Chains A and B, each alone.
Chain A
Amino acid sequence: MIPSDTYYIRSPTAAMLIGKSIRTVHNWMENGCIEGKRIPYPDIPAGFAQLINLPSMQPLIPFPMTDAIMESISKADNYNYEEMVKVGLLFYEVKRFKIAADWFTCAAKHNNNEAMLLLSDFFIRGLGVKQSHAIGLQWLGKSSENGNMRATEKINNLLRLLNS
């Protein structure tokens, strides 16, 4: 088992977890609110990247982060889109819809059809986003186009009833 203090994530991921900007994450890191470290990163102009210590963020997260959850976030940080959906669902469970919507959007934009279906539902019900049936239907269609059977079924049901 990896000791939990080795979970480090990139600052954009940290920003998504707390629903704030990356700048805020960096500020909070500088004033000690959350812990982090700098690693050399020659590919970007600053020359270094900030990594955030995930356990130190616990006070800002609305649910207890078990090792399994930190593992999940860590995988999401490494561009695992299924894990992103899971992280979004954690926020959905505690009714933090805006943060959940951000995670779903991120996964949906990388062709995760489950995230597309969830996002469609968020737009139709206006959870964490400005309610828009037009956008909700577009995500529903995209989800079906990307092979989500539940989305396909939902569309078929909707359109079947439209003509009756």
Chain B
Amino acid sequence: MSIYDNTIFVSLNTAAMLTGKSTRTIRSWLETGIAKGGESLNDSIEKNLVVDLRSINQHIPVELTPTLIDSIDKSEAGISEETTNIAIAFSKSHADKIAIQWFELAAKQGNNDAMNWLWDIYYNGYGVEPDFAVAIQWLGKAAKHGSLFAQATVEGLRKTDAYLREQKKDEYNAIVEDIKRLVKSGDNDQK
């Protein structure tokens, strides 16, 4: 089966995420005929634009294999593992920015694998500036959502934290002093 055997429609959002463009861009592509598509028939209440995957094939930086098309289909149905699979495909093709969007969507759908990837991406800076503050949040989320890998890393950090606390007892006491000073600053304002 190749993509040219069947017409496969995807939603405007999916089309935008696959190409790394905004939905506005896809909309204008539809209007100018760069992309083919139309209104979906099964939704009568709201105008639901769909895009023919073949017409935007050249703007997608990964090869649309049957497996990937299957994943796109299932991801649109809300299966988070498949969303992660799409993200991994983009990641392998070094389309990091698009990959991150898909990982974030998968994470939003509750997939802890994607959360792990995001920790890795922000920690190492794949396609983005390394951002430890964001990275560590994804690590925590992944651990909370049951990722054993993340839980092991968190356990490592716990040990590191305990070690640092022991090493920096004096500094920690300084923080406690700081807290006491903060508490008392209210009184000082009054004087």
- Is B149 at the interface (CB under 8 A from chain A)? no
A4 CB–B CB distance under 8 Å:
no
A95 CB, nearest partner CB in chain B, Å = 13
Residues in A whose Cβ lies below 8 Å from that of B132:
141, 144, 152, 155-156, 159
Residues of chain A lying within 8 A (CB to CB) of residue B180: 93
Across-interface contacts of A86 in B (CB, < 8 A)? 182-183, 185-186
Q: How far is the CA of A68 from the CA of B156 in the complex (A)?
A: 43
Q: Is the CB of B136 within 8 A of A141?
A: yes
Q: Is the CB of B156 within 8 A of A162?
A: yes
State whether A135 and B144 are in contact (beta carbons under 8 Å apart), knowing that A67-B190, A162-B157 are contacts in the complex: yes
Check if B69 is an interface residue, CB within 8 A of chain A. no
Residues of A within 8 Å of B161, CB to CB, are 124, 158
What are the residues of chain B within 8 A of A72 when measuring CB–CB? 186
Which residues of B are found within 8 Å of A151, using beta-carbon distances? 133
Partner of A145 from the list B133, B151, B186 (CB cut-off 8 Å) is B133
Beta-carbon contact of A155 and B133 below 8 Å = yes
Overall SS of chain A's interface: helix
In this complex, what residue of A is CB-closest to B160? A161
Chain A CB count within 10 A is highest, among B137, B140, B160, B182, for B140
- B28 at the binding interface (Cβ < 8 Å): no
Task: Digitize B125-154: 1 where CB-to-A-CB distance is under 8 Å, 0 elsewhere.
Answer: 000000011111101110110000011011
Asked if B140 contacts A161 (CB within 8 A), the reply is no
Interface range on chain A: under 10, 10 to 19, 20 to 34, or 35 or more?
20 to 34
- Give the distance to chain A from B163, nearest Cβ to Cβ, in Å: 7
Interface pair A137/B140, CB less than 8 Å apart: yes
CB atoms of B123 and A159 under 8 A apart = yes
Is there an interface contact between B190 and A134, defined as CB atoms closer than 8 Å? no
CB distance from B93 to the nearest CB of A (A): 27
Q: Does A136 contact B (CB under 8 A)?
A: yes
Contact with B along A137-164 (1 / 0, CB 8 A): 1101110110000011001111101100
Is A84 part of the contact surface with B, judged by Cβ < 8 Å?
no
B179 within 8 A of A: yes
Cβ-defined contact, A71 with B186, below 8 A: yes
A58 within 8 A of B: no
Is residue A127 within 8 Å, beta carbon to beta carbon, of the partner chain? no
Q: How far is the CB of B142 from chain A (nearest CB, A)?
A: 8
- A-B interface, 7 closest residue pairs, ranked by CB to CB distance from nearest: A141-B137, A144-B133, A138-B140, A137-B140, A134-B143, A141-B136, A134-B144
- A68-B190, A90-B183, A145-B134 given; 12 more Cβ-contact pairs under 8 Å: A68-B189, A93-B183, A124-B158, A133-B143, A133-B157, A138-B141, A141-B135, A142-B133, A158-B160, A161-B160, A161-B163, A161-B164
Q: Which residues of A contact B (CB under 8 A)?
A: 66-69, 71-72, 85-86, 89-90, 92-93, 124, 132-138, 140-142, 144-145, 151-152, 155-159, 161-162
Instruction: Write 8 A-B pairs (CB below 8 A) sorted by A numbering.
Output: A89-B179, A124-B161, A134-B151, A142-B137, A144-B133, A159-B132, A159-B136, A161-B164
